[in-house]
Structure 1
Amino acid sequence: MIDLVPVSIADEVIKRLYEDAFPKEERRPWDWQLALIATGELRVLRIARDGLFAGFVFYWQLPAFAFIEHFAVHPDARGGGAGTRVMELLEKELGTIILEVEPPITEQAIRRVKFYERLGYTTFPDTYQQPSYYPEFPPLALRLMYKGLPSALNFNYVRHQLYRYVYKQ
């Protein structure tokens, strides 16, 4: 059984998986992450599988949609539909969801995009640059995927909201 448990503090277990699952250029410095969680801007869901730690979701509740910034299932908890179940629960709880993915040029990135497509997500055709968290890295070329997006909202609106609220630009 998969459960999503809101938490107000990201502990060392979440930190370790965050650092293992995402390369430095794709994640904020941990102290920034903790500061955003403390303000309530960035929200954390702890994923539990049969009562045991199974991963996390960092997300933002923006005015018109939820933005899943980081989502990781612990390697020991993968398989058996864990990721699919987490996404189903998120859709019920959050409604319209936007997320970032790497361009489908590596095998892993292709698998990730196909995973979300099987769940009904669509990729915006527009290019998207994630602002850099570190001065030594350039912005990241990513793609935005969505599900449940009202037709009145478009790529430019979504990008503007992400830059304004998430990246403070």
Structure 2
Amino acid sequence: MLELKDLKNNKQYYENAKKLYNTAFPPAERIPFVILYRKAKGSNVTFFAVTQGDEFKGLVYTVWFNDIVFIFYLAVSPDARGNGIGSKILSLVKDKFPNCRLVLNIEALDENAENNDERIKRREFYVKNGFFGAGYNVREYSVIYENMCYSKDLIPVSKDEYTALIKAYLGKIMYYFYSKLSE
């Protein structure tokens, strides 16, 4: 059975999470791991190792604000892919935050992108798991993302709500630089 284990209080899987994070996400999409981990010590952030027994299977990093949970990062270990682990992780997150709307970013579809087939498959995966397009994209640095949401009542997370969540997570100073680099 899969479990979410909080990395704040359990350093057993720290190195596994760091290695997966640094290999699963391209540099343009990564915050330095040390900053990510430090931010996870805050009260509105969870950084989970996903385990099955004692085996590390993946990671999920969430930030919440009011009734919104942002799935900032979700990755499955290469040796565990293709076994429905990603869907099971999403189910665990939904169960962990049952009264919240979930939001996440995926690379926006772009027929000119080298990895557009991968982007299509990723979008189909999230749709299969109950997510829907929020109706807007966001730019973070040089990457354009589509916001996708999950909510029991199908109410999307608005762009203003998403921005407020990011501001709360980053803080005023970091948000200022983030917003300038994302213009």
TM-score between the two structures when normalised by the length of structure 2: 0.79
Q: Percent identity?
A: 22
Spell out, residue by residue over 1:42-67, the C-alpha distance to the aligned partner (whole angstroms, 9 max, x if none). Answer: 31111012431001101112112111
- When residues 62 and 44 of structure 1 are mapped into structure 2, their CA distance, relative to the original with a 3 A threshold, is same
Q: How does 1:65-84 map to 2 (within 5 A)?
A: 65-84=68-87
Work out the CA distance in 2 between the residues paired with 1:111 and 1:151: 22
Counterpart position of 1:123: 133
Which amino acid letter does the alignment assign opposite residue 121 of structure 2? R
Which of 103, 106, 110 does residue 101 from structure 1 map onto? 106
Counterpart position of 2:41: 38
Which amino acid letter does the alignment assign opposite residue 87 of structure 1? L
Question: Is 1:19 matched up with 2:22?
Answer: yes
Counterpart position of 2:121: 111
Which amino acid letter does the alignment assign opposite residue 54 of structure 2? G
TM-score between the two structures when normalised by the length of structure 1: 0.85
Secondary structure at the counterpart of residue 135 of structure 2: coil
Work out the CA distance in 1 between the residues paired with 2:56 and 2:156: 36
Work out the CA distance in 1 between the residues paired with 2:77 and 2:32: 20
Work out the CA distance in 1 between the residues paired with 2:37 and 2:88: 27
Q: Which runs of 5+ in 2 are unaligned?
A: 111-115, 176-183
Cα contact 1:57–1:70 (8 A) shared by 2: yes
Cα contact 2:149–2:156 (8 A) shared by 1: no
- When the two chains are superposed, the root-mean-square deviation of aligned CA atoms in Å is 2.0
Aligned length: 162
Cα contact 1:97–1:149 (8 A) shared by 2: no
Cα contact 1:67–1:97 (8 A) shared by 2: yes
Work out the CA distance in 2 between the residues paired with 1:90 and 1:154: 17
